[in-house]
């Protein structure tokens, strides 16, 4: 007698959450949060509907990117038994690649649906922003020119999770482009790139064996650590120009010290003295919290 096997969605929930990588979501949330605060500060305009649609679309694209990454890294043999980071759902067999690809495609569909009110409000400019974002959700790891495998991960994050995300959010809220949005985007993108760099420094040996030519692999662990310094300097530069343009002269220097300089000293010192190991997972989590803390502090500073 055959045993009837029932589909149990609750049993799949844990590996789905694992593959969605919720710890990476600050990289999608912070640009929208900070962009909305900046738009309100510059013009006094704010729409909850547009903000929630922008946020939902950004999160959906981030999750889709994570699903594609989970499946494609497995296809390319990049996730091995030597992995120091969290286990991957596809490589470990917790989810089939078909399911992971389907989930990724579904979240891209959610992103498209949530973008419709934005297109109705701001027109073709949103399509020009959205189409490359949808494609690169897959193209970050897949396609003929996978950015993550060519050492372009940090540049991609600064561009799409920083400059385009923040400037796009401000444009959605106001219908205008502001130089302050560019500088704030540079800050958010650089702090988000720190997450990629820490992740790649942790996996430098495994990535080198699987021909994943990240910047950490290209430079090596010792030289690759200096990428953190470059990213934090870019963040300091961007925040300096942003606050100066907004008229924060008295609070500017202390704000920079608190928001960026002190955390950067901790992360650079921690990575400098710690060879690749599971401890980098802690650094990665703290870098994500730092990104959220920056958004909260920036919000509070502009509300003064």
Q: How far apart are CA 239 and CA 230, in angstroms?
A: 14
Q: How far apart are CA 268 and CA 223, in angstroms?
A: 12
More confident residue, 39 or 2: 39
What are the pLDDT digits (tens) for 265-298? 888 888 888 888 888 889 988 999 999 999 999 9
Is residue 78 predicted with pLDDT exceeding 90?
A: no
Q: How far apart are CA 104 and CA 253, in angstroms?
A: 42
Map out the domains of the chain with their CATH numbers. Answer: 19-303 (1.10.600)
Q: Strands of 13-62 (E only): list them.
A: none
Asked if 75 contacts 97 with a C-beta cutoff of 8 angstroms, the reply is yes
> In the block, which residue shows the tokens 């720190």?
194
Q: What number is the average pLDDT over the span 204-231?
A: 89
Is residue 250 predicted with pLDDT exceeding 90?
A: no
pLDDT of the residue at 93: 76
First to last CA, the chain: 72
Segment among 3-7, 10-14, 258-262 with least mean pLDDT: 3-7
What are the pLDDT digits (tens) for 270-279? 888 888 888 8
The pair of three-digit structure tokens given for residue 125, joined into one six-digit string: 């400019």
Mean pLDDT of the chain: 88
Closest CA to 276 of 211, 212, 225, 209: 225
The pair of three-digit structure tokens given for residue 72, joined into one six-digit string: 């494609």
Q: What number is the average pLDDT over the span 166-191?
A: 96
Query: Considering the chain, what percentage of its residues have pLDDT values greater than 70?
Result: 93
Q: What is the pTM of this model?
A: 0.90
What are the pLDDT digits (tens) for 28-64? 999 999 999 999 999 998 999 999 999 999 999 999 9
- Residue 131 to residues 83, 135, 144, 222, 288: CA-CA distances in angstroms? 33, 6, 18, 37, 27
Closest CA to 60 of 156, 143, 133, 132: 133
Q: How far apart are CA 166 and CA 170, in angstroms?
A: 6
Is residue 3 predicted with pLDDT exceeding 60?
A: no
pLDDT of the residue at 1: 41
Is residue 10 predicted with pLDDT exceeding 70?
A: no
């Amino acid at each position: 007698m055959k045993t009837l096997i029932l589909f149990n969605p609750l049993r799949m929930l844990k590996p789905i959450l694992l593959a969605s990588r919720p710890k990476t979501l600050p990289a999608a949330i912070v640009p929208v949060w900070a962009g909305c605060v900046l738009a309100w500060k510059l013009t006094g305009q704010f729409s909850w509907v547009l903000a929630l649609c922008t946020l939902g679309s950004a999160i959906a694209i981030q999750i889709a990117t994570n699903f594609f990454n989970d499946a494609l890294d497995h296809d390319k043999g990049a996730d091995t038994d030597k992995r120091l980071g969290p286990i991957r759902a596809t490589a470990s067999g917790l989810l089939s690649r078909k399911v992971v690809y389907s989930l990724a495609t579904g979240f891209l569909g959610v992103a498209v649906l949530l973008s419709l009110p934005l297109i109705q409000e701001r027109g073709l400019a949103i399509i020009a922003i959205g189409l490359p974002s949808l494609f690169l959700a897959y193209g970050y790891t897949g396609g003929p020119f996978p950015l993550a495998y060519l050492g372009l991960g940090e540049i991609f994050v600064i561009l799409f999770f920083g400059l385009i995300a923040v400037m796009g959010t401000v444009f959605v809220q106001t219908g205008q482009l502001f130089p302050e949005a560019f500088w704030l985007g540079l800050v958010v993108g650089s702090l988000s790139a720190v997450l990629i760099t820490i992740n790649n420094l942790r996996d430098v040996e495994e990535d080198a064996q699987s021909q994943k030519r990240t910047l950490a692999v290209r430079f090596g662990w010792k030289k690759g650590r200096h990428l953190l310094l470059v990213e934090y300097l870019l963040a300091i530069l961007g925040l300096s120009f942003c606050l100066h343009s907004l008229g924060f002269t008295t609070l500017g220097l202390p704000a920079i010290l608190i928001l960026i300089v002190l955390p950067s000293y901790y992360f650079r010192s921690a990575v400098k003295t710690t060879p690749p190991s599971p401890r980098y997972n802690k650094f990665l989590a703290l870098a994500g919290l730092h990104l959220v803390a920056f958004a909260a502090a920036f919000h509070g500073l502009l509300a003064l």
